[in-house]
Amino acid sequence: MKLLLPALAAAASILATAAGMGPGAIAADPAPAPRAAAVGKVDAAFTRFIDQFLEGYFERDPAFAVYQGRHDFDGRLPDWSAAGLARTSRFLKDSIAQARGFADGALTKEQRFERDYMIKVAEGRLFWLDDADQPHRNPAYYVDGGLDPNVYIARAYADKPTRMRAFIAFAKAVPKAAAQIRANLKMPMPASFIDYGKAGFAGFASYYVGDAKAAFADVKDPALQAELNTAAAGASKAMAALAAWLEQGRATATQDYALGAARFSRMLLATEGVGTPLAELEAVGRADLQRNQAALKAACGAYAPGGTIQACMDKMNMVKGAGGPVATARRQIPDLRAFVLANNIVSIPGTEEALVEESPPYNRQNSAYIDPAGPYEKGVASIYYISPPDPSWSAAMQNAYIPGEPDLLFTSVHEVMPGHFLQFLHANRSKSLFGRVFVGYAFAEGWAHYSEEMMWDAGLRNGDPATHVGQLSNALLRNCRFLSAIGLHGRGMTQAQSLEMFRTECYQDEGNAKQQAARGTYDPAYLNYTLGKLMIRKLRDDWTAAHGGRSSWKAFHDGFLGFGGPPIPLVRQQMMGRAARAIF
């Protein structure tokens, strides 16, 4: 389950807790206080720098800007030419150098934090661009990086003719982008990359002339409709050709998907500020897997006594919600909201609600995800998408893929309440605009996954064993992602071995296990669900130990979410007043 956001990264800000004390004020600031005159001068320079970075980044990634709600960038795609990629790399490197030029003593505490976070944003983008070389190696860089026009179709940010014109401009830009993508991607390519890229590009080809066009069928403007037909057909043809080209590479496909242990460690440091040695991380992940396996054994003893763990999981998965998963999720969300409020878990700012829809055909490689409203949007709904099973699968495999109601409950916790949807309600209200725009992978997915176990611990459904089995099913899925990412990219694990681990150690159905093993090859950072969860849980325990224990959960959650979405080690530094490092 991933966020529908291109190349997730993060930013920072400080929001006061419910008790009126900002997290950064917990410990004394050891930095010397700058002179008042210098602060005023450098404050303005730093503010200009952050504004310039944001605008410069939006110019280089206009698709990302559009998803944040900057519709002055509508219809534009990134420049993926060799020269365009080089300019982006240079911009990020220059921005890092400029940020480091602002000395600690000349900035406020909040500005030092924002500077450090901006550096991590740029370092993370640089890792994928230069070190991992994704533009030349991985179709996911493009499938997830701007070719999805859903923002024009599903977000009612303007009237339909306005959004239709934006989609037409976008569609006209697709053939040029497709040519750049084909020039960049190198063969031979891992088979799983070909599968993912082909599914994505072919899906877009169908979507551009299918549901995307249908969304504007009621616009009564013949000239505009003719322009739409031509632009959509051209974009579809370009994507279909790209998918066909990828398929031609299957004859020479490889299994060369691994980043390697050293590059994988650099990924964690550059993108999440985690410098923990790989062997230590692997031990942490294995310990959490064993903790959840033991909890599942106990829960199954109460839910399905005398049976195997797999039989217990199968029993839970047979409890299907009436009307299918979309209708079931729509019923679950109001109950989850009421539970959050009744149990004083976290503040729910605003009155926005999340809609629940079936995933569009081009984006069903993940079982569920959310498209949150951007920080620049006003009055735009967030949409929680749930994917149906692949129709090419057997009937038994399709039925197993549809989650049991207790399993889906924690998907709804994860994606909506109090997971991603609530998290973005807080992030979009951050005092720092920079903090609203960049939300990190481990922060976002860590919070959403942390929410699942936290809601169970808070008493969701009063200890019902089937509910606990559902929560643990989700936890084990993320445990296997954690260990699979390390295994696939740092330990020589094969895709078949990853699939087997999902099946036998984390008790996932065959279809989901197949998808998860493949995803680990092209999304090496999908360990961030458990990585983030464990860092958040440890930070909560450390912070609340000095602030009232369980009674201070709401203050902790509000304070944590108020940072927007930075690397969690930086949040720990602000909340605990110590070095910015990962602690599990």
Do the beta carbons of residue 272 and residue 444 sit within 8 Å? no
101-130: per-residue pLDDT in tens? Answer: 999 988 998 899 899 989 999 999 999 999
Q: What is the pLDDT of residue 34?
A: 34
Q: What is the rounded distance in angstroms from the CA atom of residue 417 to the CA atom of residue 451? A: 8
Q: How far is CA 315 from CA 115, 276, 351, 353, 407, in A?
A: 51, 39, 37, 32, 11
Does residue 566 sit in helix, strand or coil? coil
pLDDT band with cut points at 50, 70 and 90 for residue 291: very high
Which residues are registered as beta bridge partners of 62? Answer: none
pLDDT at 538 over 50: yes
The pLDDT, as a whole number, for residue 22 is 32
With vertex at residue 328, the alpha carbon angle to CA 454 and CA 363, rounded to the nearest 5 degrees, is 85
Residue that wins the pLDDT comparison between 379 and 20 = 379
Q: Tell me which H or E stretch contains 9.
A: none
* pLDDT for position 45: 92
Question: Would you say residue 189 has pLDDT above 70?
Answer: yes
* pLDDT at 361 exceeding the cut of 80: no
Contacts with 103 (C-beta within 8 Å, 6 or more apart), sequence order: none
- Reading the block at residue 495, the tokens are 């895709």
Tell me, what's the pLDDT at 40? 54
Residue type, 555: A
Q: What six digits make up the tokens of 317?
A: 């998965």
Looking at residue 6, what is its pLDDT? 36
pLDDT at residue 41, rounded to an integer: 62
- 177: pLDDT strictly greater than 60: yes
- At 521, the amino acid letter reads T
What pLDDT sits at residue 43? 78
Confidence of residue 21 (pLDDT cuts 50, 70, 90): very low
Q: What is the mean pLDDT of residues 425-448?
A: 90
Separation of alpha carbons 482 and 103, rounded Å = 37
pLDDT range class, residue 270, cuts 50, 70, 90: very high
Give the integer Cα–Cα distance in Å for 492 and 260: 8
Which range in 9-13, 310-314, 430-434 is most confidently predicted, on average pLDDT?
310-314
- Per-residue pLDDT tens digits for 197-241: 999 999 999 999 999 999 999 999 999 999 999 999 999 999 999
Strand (E) or helix (H) holding 21: none
Residue 5 above 50 pLDDT? no
Q: What CA–CA distances, in Å, run from 155 to 6, 171, 232?
A: 16, 17, 19
Percentage, residues of the chain above pLDDT 90: 82
Q: Does residue 16 have a pLDDT over 50?
A: no
Reading the block at residue 336, the tokens are 């989850």
What is the pairing mode between strands 368-371 and 354-358? unpaired
**Best mean pLDDT range from 44-48, 495-499, 508-512:** 495-499
Q: What is the pLDDT of residue 274?
A: 97
pLDDT band per the 50, 70, 90 thresholds, residue 88: very high
Are 479 and 292 contacting, i.e. CB atoms less than 8 angstroms apart? Answer: yes
- DSSP-assigned beta bridge partners for residue 370: 3, 384
Q: Sort 40 into a burial class: Cβ within 10 Å, 0-12 / 13-18 / 19+.
A: exposed
pTM: 0.90
Tokens (6 digits) for 358: 């079936």
**DSSP H helical ranges for 260-377:** 261-272, 278-303, 309-317, 325-342
- The pLDDT assigned to 30 comes to 30
Q: Long-range contacts made by residues 501-506, C-beta under 8 angstroms, separation at least 24? A: 502/477, 505/289, 505/293, 505/476, 505/479, 505/480, 506/289, 506/476, 506/477, 506/479, 506/480
Alpha-carbon distance 444 to 418, whole Å? 12
When pLDDT is cut at 50, 70 and 90, the band that residue 549 belongs to is: very high
Residue 39 has pLDDT above 70, yes or no: no
Residue 286: count of CB within 10 angstroms of its CB:
15
Q: Is residue 3 predicted with pLDDT exceeding 50?
A: no
pLDDT band at 581 (very low <50, low <70, confident <90, very high): confident
pLDDT cut 70: percent of the chain above it: 92
Neighbouring CB atoms inside 10 A of 120's CB total 26
State the pLDDT at residue 400: 86
Q: pLDDT higher for 211 or 135?
A: 135
Report how far residue 78's alpha carbon sits from residue 63's, in angstroms, rounded to the nearest whole number.
Answer: 7
pLDDT band at 36 (very low <50, low <70, confident <90, very high): very low
pLDDT on residue 344: 96
Asked whether the beta carbons of 370 and 293 are under 8 A apart, the reply is no
For the chain, give every domain's residue range. Answer: 143-252
First vs last C-alpha separation in the chain: 23
Concatenating the DSSP letter of every residue in 59-79 gives HH-HHHHHHTT-GGGTT----
Q: Which residue has the higher pLDDT, 70 or 367?
A: 70
pLDDT for the residue numbered 26 = 30
Give the C-alpha separation, 570 to 528, whole Å. 16
**What does the pLDDT average to over 352-379?**
87
Smallest CA-to-CA distance from 183 within 57, 83, 259 is with: 83
Q: Is the pLDDT of residue 7 over 50?
A: no
Averaged pLDDT, 61-83: 97
154 pLDDT band (50/70/90 cuts)? confident
Tokens of 196: 């993912």
pLDDT-derived band of residue 393, with 50, 70 and 90 as boundaries?
confident
